[in-house]
Amino acid sequence: GARKPIVLLRRRTPASGDVAPGVAPGSPDLGVMLPYTPLHRLLLGLPGDPPGPPVLVMTSGNRSGEPIVTDDTEALTRLEGLADAWLGHDRPIHVPCDDSVVRICAGAELPVRRSRGYAPLPLALPLPVVPALAVGGDLKNTFCAADDRYAWLSAHVGDMDDLATLTAFERATGHLTDLTAVTPRLLIADRHPGYRSTQWARRTAEARGIPLRQVQHHHAHVASTMAEHGLDGTSPVIGVAFDGTGYGDDGAVWGGEILIADYDGFERFAHLRHVPLPGGDAAVRNPYRMALSHLRAAGVPWSDALPCAAIAPPGERRLLERQLERGLNCVPTSSMGRLFDAVSSLAGVCHRVEYEAEAAMRLENAALTGADEGRGADDGREPAYRFILGAEPDGSAAPLTADPRPVLAAAAADVLAGVPASAVARRFHRAVTVLVREVCAAARQRTGIATVALTGGVFCNAVLTEGCCTGLEADGFTVLRHRKVPPNDGGLALGQLVVAARTKE
C-alpha cells in the first residue's frame, strides 16, 4: 500500500551481518521500511543498475527532541556537524511529516507513531462533537481537530520542550484547521498546569473568546481506546492505563491506574502504591534513582552488590538518602513506567537513558532473551514475583492498592543470588501480567463489567500486551487495545476530544 510506515521487527539471532551492532543498541527491534519515495528507489538501485547497498540506515533530519528541518538554509545551520552533505530540491516543503512507526502485536497492527501515510486521514467518531481542537500532551504531541462525527489527528509534532517545537505546533494547528475547515468553538487540554500545550490552549482560548476544558490524562487515554473501537459510552469499561507520567487529581504523578470509566467520568478503582519520585526529571533520566527509591520503600538495603546502587556516585547516594528521608523534591508517583525503569536498573540492564522509555525497552529486550529456568514462565505455575493487592488499612472506600514492594524484594534477592537479568525481566513482566488479571477480576466482581481497555505508553511493550491479552481473554474478558491510534500520548488528543466535546443528540 501507500502508507509504508517503519515497522518494528524482532532482530534476527544471530543478527544479520549487514546491520552494524551500533544500530538501535539495546532495542529488541529494528525499524524496517520499504522505499516510499523515488529517491529511495534510486539509492537502492533500479532494475539493470549495479547492485545498490544491502542496507541503508536512515533517520530524520533533526536534532534530538527538535522538529524535523524542512528548509535548505536552516538545515545548513541546525544540522551542521551531523550531516556530511545535503541534497536539495527546487520544491520547498510546506508541511513537515515524520515517518509513522508501527509494530505487530498479538497478530494485529499496533501504532507507535501515527504520522506520514496515516495523518490526517479522518477517524469516524461514535458520537457527534462540536467543532473543537484538542491539543494533546507535551510528549509525543499530536493534536486533534473535529466536527460532528469526524476527527482529524495531526501528524507527529514531538516533545513540547523547546521554542522550535512550539512554533511548529502552532503552525501545524493552523494548517490542519484550514485543511479540514474546522473553526474551533472549544479548546481542550490536559489538566497538567505546567504543560506547554495546556498553556498554549489557555492563551489561545482567551484570545479567541472561546471556552477551554481540561481532561484528566489517564481518563483521556481510556476514552481514546473506547472511541477508536466505536463505543458510544453508554457502558463503562475497565481501563488499564499504564504510562510514565500523568497529572493526577490529587497532585501526584499517576501512571499505574485502573479506572472504571466512560466518557462522562471515571472512578479510580486501583493504582500502584505511591513511592517518591526523587528529583523529578532527574529520576526519569537516571533510572537507578528510581530503583533506589523503590528499594528503600521495600526495606531493601542499598547493597553495593546491587547494580543500581553500585552505579550511583557515593556523594549522590548520600544526598539521595537524605532527600528521601526528608521528602525534599519528592513528588509521590504511582507510575508503572517508572517501576519498569526501576527494575531495569535493579537488574543491571539500563541505568541512564538517552531517549524516552529506553530503560523499559531494554528490559523488554532482556525478557526476550535467555531462558527463565522454568521459574515464573507462563506455564500455569505460581509466578516468581507477585504484587500484593489490598484495600486501605482503615477499610475506607479508597481505591485498591497494588503494592510492588514484594516484587522489588524478590527481584533484588534474585540479583544478589546471580540470577541472569533476562530471567529477572521475564519474571517481572509475568508479575505485571498477573496483576492486571487480578485487578480486572476484582473490578468485574464489583461492577459486572467485562470489557477491558489497555492503554498508555507502557502498552507499546509487546511482551506485556500479548501476555495481558492472552490472560484476560482466557478469563472471559473482551479486550480493547489500540489499532488505529497509539497507546502512548500520540493518541491522547482523541480521548480528550470525546470526553469534552460531545454534543447531545
pLDDT by residue, tens only, the chain of 505 residues = 889 999 999 887 665 567 888 888 777 789 999 888 888 888 888 889 988 787 888 888 888 777 888 888 889 888 988 888 888 888 888 888 899 999 998 889 999 999 999 999 999 999 999 999 999 999 999 999 999 999 999 999 988 888 888 888 999 999 999 999 999 999 999 999 999 999 999 999 999 999 999 999 999 999 999 999 999 999 999 999 999 999 999 999 999 999 999 999 999 999 999 999 998 888 999 999 999 999 999 999 999 999 999 999 999 999 999 999 888 889 999 999 999 999 999 999 999 998 889 999 999 999 988 665 444 445 567 889 999 998 755 555 679 999 999 999 999 999 999 999 999 999 999 999 999 999 999 999 999 999 999 999 999 999 999 999 999 999 999 999 999 999 999 999 999 999 999 976 5
- What the chain holds in terms of domains, given with CATH numbers, is 114-218+490-500 (3.30.420.360), 254-259+271-482 (3.30.420.40)
- Helix then strand then coil, % of the chain, to nearest 5: 35, 20, 45
In this predicted structure, what is the pLDDT of residue 379?
A: 53
How many Cα atoms within 13 Å fall on the side-chain side of residue 168? 27
Q: State the cell numbers at 429.
A: 513482566
Per DSSP, 460 falls in state G
**71-80: burial string, b at 16+ Cβ within 10 Å, e else:** eeeebeebee
Q: Which residue has the cell 470526553?
A: 499
d(CA 119, CA 322): 49
Read off the pTM: 0.93
Backbone angles phi, psi at 239, to 5 degrees: -100, 115
Peptide bond into 287 cis (omega under 30): no
Q: Which residue has the cell 505455575?
A: 381
SS3 375: coil
In this predicted structure, what is the pLDDT of residue 16?
A: 58
Decide: 323 and 278 in contact? Cβ < 8 Å.
Answer: yes
SS3 223: helix
Start-end of H helices in 90-195: 163-180
d(CA 184, CA 226): 23
Decide: 242 and 465 in contact? Cβ < 8 Å.
Answer: no
Q: Going along 280-392, which residue ranges are E strands? A: 330-333, 388-390
In this predicted structure, what is the pLDDT of residue 374?
A: 44
Residues in contact with 326: Cβ distance below 8 Å, sequence separation at least 6, in sequence order: none
474 CB burial (10 A radius; 0-12, 13-18, 19+) = exposed
In this predicted structure, what is the pLDDT of residue 39?
A: 87
Per DSSP, 500 falls in state H
SS3 146: strand
In this predicted structure, what is the pLDDT of residue 375?
A: 44
Q: Which residue has the cell 543491571?
A: 348
In this predicted structure, what is the pLDDT of residue 95?
A: 84
Decide: 337 and 359 in contact? Cβ < 8 Å.
Answer: no
Calculate the dihedral angle through the C-alpha atoms of 313, 429, 105, 26, rounding to the nearest 10 degrees. 30
Length of the chain, please? Answer: 505
Residues in contact with 183: Cβ distance below 8 Å, sequence separation at least 6, in sequence order: 131, 177
Q: State the cell numbers at 264.
A: 462522562
Measured on CA atoms in the order 130, 487, 214, 143, is the torsion positive or negative? Answer: negative
The gap from C-alpha 86 to its chain's centroid, in whole angstroms, comes to 33
Q: Going along 382-474, which residue ranges are E strands? A: 388-390, 400-403, 451-455
